[in-house]
Structure 1
Amino acid sequence: MDNSKQQEQEPVNPGPNEELKKPSVLDTIQQLGQTAVPASESNIFCMTIIGQVEGHLVLPPQNKTTKYEHLIPQLVAVEQNPKIEGIFIVLNTVGGDVEAGLAIAEMIATLSKPTVTLVLGGGHSIGVPIAVSSDFSIIAETATMTIHPIRLNGLVIGVPQTFEYLDKMQERVIRFITSHSEISEQKLKELMFKTGELTRDIGTTVIGADAVKYGLIDTIGGVGDGIRELNRRIEANRKLMPGGVVQ
């Protein structure tokens, strides 16, 4: 009996490479909201800080949040990855937890690789220290930044120690902002404790051009300006040898 026909009819088991299927267009649309994903690898890591910065307490599910415990491992991984040469941070945040925001800002400020921040929409409250923590900061012309004193939620014990703790925390925020931007401490406190502008709060809402005028942000611009500045700093960083001598 001829077994050739029988062998042709038997199904051939797929190899290990054939089992790996590329994601379908439908999967891509559902996961990323786009029909095509850029295939080329980039030497720039883009990190977004949006919604409310979530700290030690979990916010309600309807709140759009940025969890600091997600960002910190990403920044550590970026610092260790030799393929990543620069970090581009995009902000559109209403603020949030003070200690979580300062932790993110300190992480960005202590990275050894070039960093650029871009404020789109808003960089309010504790978003201000994050915005100024990079090597170079940019703000969109229509973006705003709300500068106001620290506030407490929940139970407050009315004793002098509580107010002393608040004052120390406020000084931490002010010291960080002034040391990472060109704004003076006097001007920052003037904006922070201004009355009459915000109907339900003390402080000031600063629009793009004013943020640059006060020295809070370096320049007005957008995504293209941020990428160009970051590439320029990456190129300058490449020319520096480990000993700090220009080639």
Structure 2
Amino acid sequence: MLSNNKQEGQPLQPNQPLTEDAAKNGTIEAIQQLGQTAAPSGETNIFCMTIIGQVEGHLVLPPQNKTTKYEHLIPQLVAAEQNPKIEGVLVILNTVGGDVEAGLAIAEMISTLSKPTVALVLGGGHSIGVPIAVSADLSIIAETATMTIHPIRLNGLVIGVPQTFEYLDKMQERIIHFVTRNSRIAEEKFKELMFKTGELTRDIGTTVVGTDAVRYGLIDMLGGLGDAIRELNRLIEERRKTQTGGMVQ
């Protein structure tokens, strides 16, 4: 006789207690589908958003690609902005880049949040990951992490070359303006890194390691997860003081 638990392939009844196997299966399913699982501890005032793999834009990438879908991140940011319990946003990046417009959309949303934001680059924050990393109020990079800065590339058929070049040039200027506006790097230095030849085997540009990213002013500081949490809590505390006129609640 079959039981009604999830292990036997039957859905749980509304008033049926959640068995240990069913809870374990639910956790595994959450990890498989979303790449995350709810922490067993109490509620937190920090919303953590991960940007990993390739930023997927208007075209669906092959299933073997690890992707971050921007249409999933945008409503999460809207919810974090509207939720009074969320006081800060932590953005963790390990991305190879991806769709330029999708990446810029994510970066613009992060930069316009009213709540404190901290970005942490682990592994890599390449290509369009650079604007996303600098869009936060404070950016942190691990010492072993790298960031690749290069011009915009176009895949596929090009029909009108002059018109396409003009479009790419304008979009590239948008990226340069956004990065220099949201970081301490000079526009001349950023362009120098972007158009450098001889360093990348099959491309123009520069791979910047963690210490150099801080030295150039692209990223604010070196650090890891503990530093990111500490700095975000500091920004949250400063915002509380501002909102209460100098009196901490």
Give the alignment's TM-score, normalised by structure 1: 0.88
Deviation at 1:162, TM superposition (A): 1.2
Distance 2:75 2:41 in 1: 24
Q: 1:29/1:19 Cα in 2 relative to 1: closer, same or farther (>3 Å)?
A: closer
Matched, 1:21 2:18: yes
From 188, 200, 204, the counterpart of 1:186: 188
Aligned-partner SS, 1:198? coil
Deviation at 1:19, TM superposition (A): 2.1
Aligned-partner SS, 2:107? helix
Q: 1:17/1:73 Cα in 2 relative to 1: closer, same or farther (>3 Å)?
A: closer
The percentage of counterpart residues that share the same residue type is 76
User: Map of 1:1-247 to 2, 5 A cutoff?
Assistant: 18-21=15-18, 24=21, 26-27=24-25, 30-31=28-29, 32=31, 37-241=39-243, 245-247=245-247
Deviation at 1:17, TM superposition (A): 8.2
Q: 1:18/1:166 Cα in 2 relative to 1: closer, same or farther (>3 Å)?
A: closer
CA contact (8 A) 1:55 1:67 kept: yes
CA contact (8 A) 1:28 1:35 kept: no
Distance 1:166 1:23 in 2: 54
Deviations 1:38-58 (A, max 9, x none): 231111000000000000000
Distance 2:94 2:83 in 1: 26
Aligned-partner SS, 1:75? helix
Aligned length: 230
User: Over aligned residues, Cα RMSD in angstroms?
Assistant: 2.0
Deviation at 1:37, TM superposition (A): 4.1
Could you tell me which runs of 5 or more consecutive residues in structure 1 were left unpaired when the two chains were aligned.
1-15
Distance 2:155 2:38 in 1: 44
